[in-house]
């Protein structure tokens, strides 16, 4: 069995490909496109994100929990899950088309339809990737992520050389996703049985348990992306372009934590039923490692947001710098929530996660319906900050209730509080932005991060990451 360190290495390769395909490519397109066209593309991408989670319905998350725990025969489990996914794909397709036909026309309608189809295909590639991760086969995702990235680079080159329009990019993204799904299906068929056989026991299990995962998955993405659709509808595509540009930077930084989350989730799921005390100790350590990285990213984006936006997007996106404080807190609260959310999932409290994200979505929708028409995309960013604070607080409270632990130590608390206070002091009190001082503070912050870990904690992390037999 591959060690966690090797899996993290492969995930890092995937992560780098995702940085290029999910962020760098869109940054380049933002520079090449007008604000209107990039807003159109952002509208389609966010719509696909919303609809793909309906078609996916949390089955990927279930697979990463169920497959390592050997709940059912692997091949039977996968096939029966795919059967259920057909129904959710149809529901997502119909819902997306009705939404577009009722509210949009012109280019938004055309782009929207293309990305509706893209969403259905993406949901299936996501599930196959989850299967291979659960089987400790990270290499497949790594190479196909590279294929996807290389294909997108070719698309952008053709777009630039022949002066094509946003429709070319939309159709190109759809084609590449389709090719990726064909390859994934072929690989699965070559390595495992692909016999279609309905298993009533598995179907019953999936039907009963998938709703908590599906509802959580859908609501969790909706509270993150629904504001983009509201911005497009109330304020327009150019405002959405500015909001999406900065949010892309936040999502890029969040990939760092997703990298560790994807590797540690199967590990903690396998450990949980065997040794509860060890499980708590290692969850605490993993939480500290992920949260510390999140704090560093939070400080980094606040110190260098002006330079980052200007460098990546050019001066035409300078208005988006006003989103730095609220969206950096979105990043921080999401990182803080990672391990707490995982604990609820693998301890069979997924219904609590559904309740938490539902409350968060309701708060987000109510506030955005009032604030976006009045304050535009800046108002939406502060709503997102507040709702993510609500999300983290609820995860934290329920973890204390079910596990009787807060999963943090004094050093981590001091590190977090001092970093937040520095960022707020710099933003609201200091008049000048000194690049050299910012660089020095980042070095100091990184040094404090290192000494916040005790020697035995560092050794334990090394053991978890390098031992093949845990």
Rounded to a whole number of angstroms, the CA Rg of the chain reads 22
What pLDDT is attached to residue 149? Answer: 92
Gap between the Cα atoms of 337 and 247, Å rounded: 18
Look at the chain and report how many structural domains it folds into: 1
**Hey, is 273 helix, strand or coil?**
coil
Which ranges in 57-165 belong to alpha helices (H)?
A: 59-66, 74-103, 106-134, 138-161
Domain extent for 72: 4-466
Could you tell me which of 221, 197, 1, 192 has the C-alpha nearest to residue 81?
197
Could you tell me which of 46, 194, 197, 184 has the C-alpha nearest to residue 124?
184
Gap between the Cα atoms of 28 and 445, Å rounded: 31
Tokens read off for 44: 């389609």
Are the C-beta atoms of residues 64 and 266 closer than 8 Å to each other?
Answer: yes
Tokens read off for 34: 């007008």
What pLDDT is attached to residue 465? Answer: 65
What pLDDT is attached to residue 315? Answer: 87
What pLDDT is attached to residue 117? Answer: 97
Q: Per residue in 270-285, pLDDT tens?
A: 777 666 777 778 788 8
Q: What is the pTM of this model?
A: 0.82
* Average pLDDT over the chain, rounded to an integer: 87
Gap between the Cα atoms of 128 and 126, Å rounded: 6
What stretches in the chain show pLDDT beneath 50? 1
Contacts of 328 (CB under 8 A, 6+ apart): 250, 298, 301, 302, 305, 423
What number of residues does the chain have? Answer: 470
Contacts of 290 (CB under 8 A, 6+ apart): 257, 260, 261, 335, 338, 339
Are the C-beta atoms of residues 229 and 44 closer than 8 Å to each other?
Answer: no
């Amino acid at each position: 069995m591959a060690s966690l360190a090797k899996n993290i290495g492969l995930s890092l390769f995937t992560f780098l490909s995702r940085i290029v395909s999910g962020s760098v490519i869109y940054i380049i397109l933002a520079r090449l496109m007008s604000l209107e066209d990039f807003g159109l593309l952002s509208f389609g991408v966010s719509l696909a994100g919303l609809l793909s989670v309906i078609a996916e319905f949390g089955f990927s998350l279930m697979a990463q929990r169920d497959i390592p725990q050997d709940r059912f025969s692997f091949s039977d489990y996968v096939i029966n899950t795919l059967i259920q996914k057909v129904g959710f794909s149809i529901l997502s397709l119909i819902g997306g088309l009705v939404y577009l036909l009722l509210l949009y026309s012109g280019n938004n309608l055309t782009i929207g339809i293309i990305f509706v189809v893209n969403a259905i295909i993406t949901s299936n590639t996501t599930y196959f990737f989850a299967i291979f991760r659960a089987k400790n086969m990270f290499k497949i995702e790594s190479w196909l992520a590279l294929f996807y990235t290389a294909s997108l680079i070719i698309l952008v080159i053709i777009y630039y050389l022949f002066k094509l329009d946003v429709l070319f990019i939309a159709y190109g993204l759809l084609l590449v996703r389709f090719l990726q799904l064909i390859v994934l299906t072929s690989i699965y068929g070559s390595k495992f049985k692909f016999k279609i056989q309905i298993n009533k026991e598995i179907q019953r299990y999936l039907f009963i348990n998938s709703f908590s995962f599906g509802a959580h998955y859908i609501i969790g993405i909706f509270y993150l992306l629904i504001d983009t659709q509201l911005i497009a509808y109330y304020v327009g595509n150019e405002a959405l372009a500015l909001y999406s540009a900065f949010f892309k930077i936040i999502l890029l930084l969040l990939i760092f934590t997703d990298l560790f989350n994807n590797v540690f989730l199967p590990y903690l799921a396998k450990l949980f039923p065997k040794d509860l005390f060890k499980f708590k100790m290692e969850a605490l350590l993993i939480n500290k490692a992920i949260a510390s990285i999140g704090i560093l990213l939070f400080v980094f984006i606040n110190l260098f947001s002006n330079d980052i936006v200007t460098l990546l997007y050019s001066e035409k996106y300078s208005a988006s710098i006003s989103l730095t404080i609220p969206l950096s807190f979105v990043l921080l609260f999401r990182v803080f929530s990672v391990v707490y959310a995982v604990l609820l999932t693998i301890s069979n409290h997924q219904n609590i996660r559904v309740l938490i994200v539902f409350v968060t979505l309701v708060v987000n929708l109510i506030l955005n319906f009032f604030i976006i028409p009045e304050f535009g995309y800046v108002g939406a960013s502060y709503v997102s900050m507040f709702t993510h604070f609500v999300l983290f607080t609820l995860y934290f409270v329920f973890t204390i209730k079910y596990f009787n632990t807060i999963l943090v130590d004094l050093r981590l608390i001091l590190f977090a509080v001092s970093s937040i206070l520095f960022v707020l002091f710099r933003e609201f009190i200091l008049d000048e932005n000194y690049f050299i001082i910012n660089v020095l503070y980042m070095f100091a912050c990184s040094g404090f991060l290192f000494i916040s870990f005790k020697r035995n904690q560092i050794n334990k992390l090394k053991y978890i990451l390098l031992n093949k037999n845990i």
